[in-house]
Structure 1
Amino acid sequence: MYHCIFRRAICVRVYKKTFVAAAVMVMSGCSYSFGNDSETDALPKRVVYTEEVDSPASADETIMAELYVMDENDLVVPQMVPVEKTENEEKAALQYLAAGEFTDGFRAPLPEGTVVEDVTIQDKTAVVSLSGSFEKYAPEDEANIAAAITWTVTGFGKADRVLIDMDGERLETMPVAGMPIAASGMKREDGINMDADYAELGATKPLTVYFTAQNEDGPYYVPVTRRISADTTDLISAAVSEMSKGPEAGSGLSSEFMPGTKLVDAPSVQNGRAVLYFNDAILEENGEPFISSRVLKPLAFTLAESAGIESISIQVDGHENIKLETGEQVPASITAPLFVNEEIAVSAE
């Protein structure tokens, strides 16, 4: 049987000092993408390059990039924003973080008065040179600031580790609470929004899952790093297990997974595509069983981030022809958007 579902892509055109984003809908019979496509040989970089339409290139052009900001729950949140198109995109992104021009409910992770002098990259290591008021932040914000810098810079795909220079001196620790900075640099695997009380005892390794937060403009997605046993080899099953456990109480986050949701068989993976075999706890009921798209989106983000999975297929034990809440068939292939919160900047007007 042939089932169709909308597949969305984002087309961005940028004029001088302005940007216009248009959502383009096309029909696809076999896949469902929550966001835009990218022709790469790995997971897509979190940046979209724009093209000048009517005039030569200028410094006023912008790119759409994923920056990490702070929300009202003091969590680090990815936000899609336009930053200056330049040869040094990482520097432009951090300058935007320092400027603090975000939608209501979000704030800059870098202290006011922080000066981003430069970002240089060599051998996949970025050196972020800062001055000004960078050290004037609350001690409890230190881990979040380090994560915001690291995840923003590495999101462009040219660096996977980040070092910090302040006033020309290499930092071995963060300047306020003394969080150590490895000599090789900070990396995404160091974690983001860590559940301090959740770490398992013994040898562990990180795994990042996505939960949901909510403000007056609607839901948005937040990465949270958990620690799992260092012996874990099935990262997909581990990710599903962590998502099912839900977020830490009082974190301001929620999980869309129904209680008791788990995999009943080992996932099969081939060429970046994972087939997941769930029990029926993943289903909701409204006259007939269905899977909510609010479950599929953070699941796709989680498996892309933690297990390198590019697309997923869902099967439910004892059920065939499972539908979404819209009544449409659950597609055979589901991919995550390029940007986690591509619709987070909702106008208040």
Structure 2
Amino acid sequence: MRRLNLKSIWWLPVAAITLAACGGTDPVDDVLEEMDPPQTEYIEEGEELEGGEGLEVQGEVDENNEEEDMISSITDEEAEEIEEEKGGTVTESAMTELYLLDRNGYVAAQTMNIPRSSNEVQAAVEYLVQGGPVTEMLPNGFQAVLPPGTEVLDSEVSNGVATVDLSEHFAEYHPDQELQVLQALTWTLTQLDDVDRVMLRMNGEELTEMPQNGTPISSGYTRGHGINLETDNVSDLVDTKPVVVYFLSQTDDLQTYYVPVTRRVPNNMDSYEAVVNELLEGPALMSGLLNDFSREVELLDNPQLASNGTLTLNFNEALRSQLEGTAVSQDVLNMLVLSLTEQPDVRDVAIQVESDDTIMVSTGETITEPVSRPTNVNTGEY
């Protein structure tokens, strides 16, 4: 089994990077609101996204000291050893997905190296506060979601539930951002071990609904409530189920990252086929999201899930849209794996083209085995 090898997307002041998992999905019945999506741009066949397919961004290079060349492929442990050899002070840190607001109003993860803490919940939430310690680390076009001055008064984890007590500043978020606040908190905290649900308090009082628009949260919030919800074209929520698919976005300086979107599909439709169909359909008009699939791409067979969790997809030749029709776009591969491994039974994804399981990627790499989900999303290197 091969770990998803994603291209360099963000330069972060960190050493090592791998990619992240997002959780499974449950039915979404109590949240029907949707963000106003900002313009769909389609990548024509044969084109690549600007911004560095397969790039590996390096730091400043000192010709007399190779240790100054801090490429993103070294591990945290190696980085600490380098600091120790230089006589520096080493602060233990951990790669953590922080769900932030991008310039289009979408909640998207950025994986950052933050100091380790005995209270992981408190540490993660503090890095979601505007004007807090995340400020100097924010990628271009991103902002934290919690109002300035928000403090974590207390937090605990019990039976899969993280309960967070926040100061009164928490209630000062903009009403239009209520769902984004909930989603960012939930998806950030549920990446932690033993956390499946988030409960909120404010000044010691349990919150049964959100302070601004009254979104119900008495039973807590989970990843099953979705992220970046799209329900405009859904007339019957009862006969539909949610799926999470990942599209592309870019910053003003053409740095690429992946954005999860929750859509609803018919209950009687195969979930894996539904995910592929939504990816091929592409992002919503005026969303600002991007799609790297050729319009001619089709599934030739029904998706096949093996007992070991490997999902096999067989596409037509149109999937090879790069390098004069010989290679699959790295972004297409990443979107497929990220989206399909959101399904609870899928461990990895085997891609075939006309039943051929030897696939060349636009980076020049050849894959011959299933690709597994990364450990962290949008880390700076894929």
Q: Determine the C-alpha separation between the residues in 1 that align with 2:19 and 2:357.
A: 29
Residue 32 of structure 1 corresponds to: none
Q: Does 1:94 align with 2:130?
A: no
Q: CA deviation at 1:339?
A: 1.2
Higher-RCO chain (CA-CA 8 Å, sequence separation at least 6): 2
Residue 35 of structure 2 corresponds to: none
Q: Note the alpha carbon deviations across 1:166-188, whole angstroms, 9 max, x for none.
A: 1111111111011111x331100
Q: CA deviation at 1:274?
A: 1.3
Residue 37 of structure 2 corresponds to: none
Q: Does 1:163 align with 2:194?
A: no
Residue type of the partner of 2:314?
Y
Q: Determine the C-alpha separation between the residues in 2 that align with 1:265 and 1:307.
A: 21
Residue 331 of structure 1 corresponds to: 368
Change (3 A) 1:170 1:50: farther
Tell me, yes or no, if the aligned pair for 2:19 and 2:379 is still in contact at 8 Å.
no
Name structure 1 gaps, 5 residues minimum.
Answer: 11-18, 24-34, 44-48, 345-349
From 131, 134, 138, give the equivalent of 2:174.
Answer: 138
Residue type of the partner of 1:289?
T
Residue type of the partner of 1:189?
G
Q: Determine the C-alpha separation between the residues in 1 that align with 2:340 and 2:235.
A: 21
Q: CA deviation at 1:134?
A: 0.7
Q: CA deviation at 1:285?
A: 5.3
Residue 30 of structure 1 corresponds to: none
- Structure 1 residue matching 2:162: 3-state secondary structure: strand
- Structure 1 residue matching 2:250: 3-state secondary structure: strand
Tell me, yes or no, if the aligned pair for 1:59 and 1:85 is still in contact at 8 Å.
no
Q: Note the alpha carbon deviations across 1:31-56, whole angstroms, 9 max, x for none.
A: xxxx4699xxx99xxxxx9666559x
Residue type of the partner of 1:281?
A
Residue type of the partner of 2:147?
P
Q: Determine the C-alpha separation between the residues in 2 that align with 1:267 and 1:155.
A: 28
Q: Note the alpha carbon deviations across 1:125-157, whole angstroms, 9 max, x for none.
A: 111111131111111100000000000000113
- Segment drifting more, 192-201 vs 317-326: 317-326
Q: Does 1:210 align with 2:204?
A: no
Aligned residue runs from structure 1 range 1-349, under 5 A = 20-22=14-16, 35=18, 60-98=91-129, 99=132, 100-101=134-135, 102-181=138-217, 183-203=218-238, 204-215=240-251, 216-232=253-269, 234-270=270-306, 271-284=308-321, 286-317=323-354, 321-343=358-380
CA RMSD in angstroms, aligned pairs only: 3.2
Q: Determine the C-alpha separation between the residues in 1 that align with 2:341 and 2:117.
A: 28
Change (3 A) 1:338 1:243: same
Change (3 A) 1:276 1:8: closer
- Segment drifting more, 190-199 vs 64-73: 190-199
Tell me, yes or no, if the aligned pair for 1:72 and 1:106 is still in contact at 8 Å.
yes
Name structure 2 gaps, 5 residues minimum.
Answer: 25-74
**TM value normalised by structure 1:** 0.80
Structure 1 or 2: larger strand share?
Answer: 1
Q: Determine the C-alpha separation between the residues in 2 that align with 1:192 and 1:267.
A: 25
- Structure 1 residue matching 2:195: 3-state secondary structure: coil
Tell me, yes or no, if the aligned pair for 2:3 and 2:372 is still in contact at 8 Å.
no
